Homo-oligomer: A and B are copies of this chain.
């Protein structure tokens, strides 16, 4: 139990929520469990998150944001050429997903349930990732590295083409032998298509 003297922030509630979800699973975890883990009343939790659904949505967004924040740093490294950044970005996305699925399978399964029930949060996450890709491809089009009529359309195509390496419905395939070579072959083909 955390010391109650600490200020109860939204971030502390979300940390505790993730831990409760990990321990009890998404079907059984309740707001009362979260409050108990923090040593506060459930009313205190509700002051930050007005419903259980809002709390689950916020914890899902936090989980997805961890990936997009990591990828944003690659987008911002504008001293590097667009092809390198595109490859690094796709590799970092695949790595982040593989690690989430492989390092803590229970938590990954939990978040698979949560993302299924929070379609609009997932939609915003995909829009954010596609916007990052669009920025890389737009800069590559500006410098003449890429030849694409519409960077946003190309970014969406690249994101969808690599779905096997980031969409959770393909998680079982991420540990198969040869998956690294398959990823490289696909990225090579897409880079040629953009150039």
Interface assignment of A156: CB less than 8 Å from any CB of chain B: yes
Q: A69 to nearest B CB, angstroms?
A: 25
Across the interface, name the chain B residue whose C-beta is closest to A153: B185
Contact B182 A157 (CB under 8 A): yes
A167 CA to B154 CA in the complex, in Å?
A: 21
Across the interface, name the chain B residue whose C-beta is closest to A185: B157
A169 CA to B158 CA in the complex, in Å?
A: 19
Known: A189-B190, A189-B194, A192-B194. 20 other contacts (CB 8 A): A154-B189, A157-B186, A157-B189, A160-B164, A160-B186, A161-B161, A161-B186, A161-B189, A161-B190, A163-B163, A163-B164, A163-B170, A167-B169, A169-B169, A189-B193, A190-B193, A191-B193, A192-B192, A192-B193, A193-B194
With a cutoff of 8 Å between Cβ atoms, the chain B residues found around residue A162 in the complex are 161
How many chain A residues sit at the interface, stated as a range, is 20 to 34
Residues of A27-68 contacting chain B, CB below 8 A: none
With a cutoff of 8 Å between Cβ atoms, the chain B residues found around residue A163 in the complex are 163-164, 170
With a cutoff of 8 Å between Cβ atoms, the chain B residues found around residue A190 in the complex are 161, 189, 193
Beta-carbon contacts of A125-153 to B below 8 Å, as 1s and 0s?
Answer: 00000000000000000000000000001
- What are 20 contact pairs spanning A and B, CB under 8 A? A156-B182, A157-B182, A157-B185, A157-B186, A157-B188, A158-B189, A161-B161, A161-B162, A161-B164, A161-B186, A161-B189, A161-B190, A163-B163, A163-B164, A167-B169, A167-B170, A169-B169, A189-B194, A190-B193, A191-B193
